[in-house]
Structure formats: C-alpha cells, structure tokens
Amino acid sequence: MSADKQTSWSYAEGLPTEDEVLLRARERSFELGVASISPGVAAALTVCAAATKAQTVVEIGSGAGVSGVCLLRGLPDTAVLTTIDSDVDHLRAAREAFHDAGIPGNRTRTISGRAADVLPRLTDNAYDLVFIDADKQSYLNYVEQAVRLLKRGGTLIINDALDQDRVSDPAIRNETTTILRQVGKAVRANKQLVSAMLTTGNGLLVAVKR
Ligand SMILES: C[S@@+](CC[C@H](N)C(=O)[O-])C[C@H]1O[C@@H](n2cnc3c(N)ncnc32)[C@H](O)[C@@H]1O
C-alpha cells in the first residue's frame, strides 16, 4: 500500500465519532477479549442497515454488542435483530449494550449457541440482512446458510474479509486466510449474489441476493 493509501485508510477509520454507548460496549469487548468491529465498519453497518431498510436481520457473532448497536441504529424502529453467540458472557454484554442504547427488548432476539447448530433452525428466505462476524473456520458454512436465509434483494455482509491484508498475498496460506480467500471466491462465483469487496476495516465483503 502506498503511504497515501495508508493515510487515507487511517483517516477514514478516524472519521466516525462514537458516543458513550459504543465506547462502553468497546470497553466491555476489550475486557472480554472480543475483537469488535472497527469504527469504519461500525459506520458502514449503520449506513447499510439504513439503506436496506431491513426489517429482519441475523447477526452471527454478537460479541459485546458493538456491531448489533450499529445495525440497530440504522434499521427502521420496527426491525428485529436476531443475534447469535456461543459465549453467554458475550451475549450478556451485548444485551447490556442494547439496553444502554435504549433499544426496546422486543427488537432483539439473542440466541445462545453455536451458529452451525442455530442457523439451520431459522426460516428460509425470511431475512433482509445477514452479518457474519464469528469463527472464521465456519464462514463457508455461514455463507451457505446466509444465502438460504436471505430474501431476494437481501444483503449479506462479511467482516474481516481481507484478513489484515493477508488474503491478497497468495504466498500466505494459513488456515484462516485460506478460508477467507475461499469465501471471497465462493461469493463471487455464486450466481445468486452480486458483490463488492470494500477495504473498510479489515475488509467488508458486501453482497446482495438477486
Ligand atoms: C469478533 S467477535 C464479534 C464481535 C461483534 N460482531 C462486534 O463487533 O461487536 C466474534 C464472536 O463470535 C463468537 N463465536 C465464536 N465462535 C462461534 C460459534 N461457533 N457460534 C457462534 N458464535 C461464535 C464469539 O464468542 C465472539 O463473541
């Protein structure tokens, strides 16, 4: 990356101003050892949620609620976020963040469990937006499930899709990077999806189901 590009990336990541609610959620993430989305991704999620006017959203990987709050802030007041996490302490922190953000309880459905077990129980073609930010080893499965869950016109967003700039380097072949490379290929090859790779954060792969 040229020095100018690096500077522009840092500049863009530094633009969002986050309020007390998000800063507290980030603090809880840190205490729990959860890697929350970057400020640039946080802002992009709110914009995508607002642009899609999604009513039904699935999040895979609640963490301490940073991404959930950002999604909910962009969604219409009637939208419901279903968020899945296998760690009960993370889910508790996410619920606290939703409460701090003044989100009514009936707008969030928090599900404790492994996403690979939970996702097959969710209804086909019923969701407007799916956000993936959990265990990378399972991303290919999550993408497959997301395509099943999404309505036509629904949006898929995959966080960390460039894996700290490792995906673009073919010499790097560790398991996580290889999986994320395969995820990118699978999304681009899927005729049901149109996609774009955004360089926000660690890469945000955005796709729409035709
Ligand atoms: C990177 S963090 C999510 C951060 C969150 N999206 C945010 O920005 O606030 C990944 C989360 O995925 C959860 N996770 C890991 N493996 C999982 C699995 N198999 N099923 C469901 N959740 C899982 C972890 O407990 C963790 O909370």
| Residues with C-beta less than 6 Å from any ligand 1 atom | 29, 34-37, 61-67, 84-87, 90, 114-115, 133-135, 138
How far, in Å, from the CA of 1 to the mean position of ligand 1? 29
Look at residue 78 and tell me whether its pLDDT is greater than 90: yes
pLDDT tens digits for range 119-160: 999 999 999 999 999 999 999 999 999 999 999 999 999 999
- Rg of the chain over CA atoms, in angstroms? 16
Q: What percent of the chain has pLDDT over 70?
A: 100
Q: Report DSSP state, residue 74.
A: H
pLDDT tens digits for range 165-201: 999 999 999 999 999 999 999 999 999 999 999 999 9
Domain segments of the chain: what residues? 3-209
Q: Are 203 and 161 in contact (CB under 8 A)?
A: yes
pLDDT at 3: 81
Burial class (CB in 10 A: 0-12, 13-18, 19+), 99: middle
Q: Are 62 and 83 in contact (CB under 8 A)?
A: yes
pLDDT tens digits for range 88-123: 999 999 999 999 999 999 999 999 999 999 999 999
Q: What percent of the chain has pLDDT over 90?
A: 98
Q: Which of 23, 83, 90, 119 to mutate to test the pocket of ligand 1 (most atoms within 8 A of CB)?
A: 90
Ligand 1 atom nearest to CA at 35: 1
Q: Which of 86, 100, 121 to mutate to test the pocket of ligand 1 (most atoms within 8 A of CB)?
A: 86
- The CA distance from 152 to 98, in Å, is 28
pLDDT at 203: 98
Q: Where in 48-102 does DSSP place strands (E)?
A: 56-60, 80-85
Look at residue 60 and tell me whether its pLDDT is greater than 80: yes
pLDDT at 1: 58
In which residue are the tokens 């792969």 written? 205
pLDDT interval class at 2 (50, 70, 90):
confident
pLDDT tens digits for range 11-34: 999 999 999 999 999 999 999 999
Class of domain 3-209: alpha beta
Average pLDDT over all residues of the chain:
97
Distance of CA 162 to the CA centre of its chain: 14
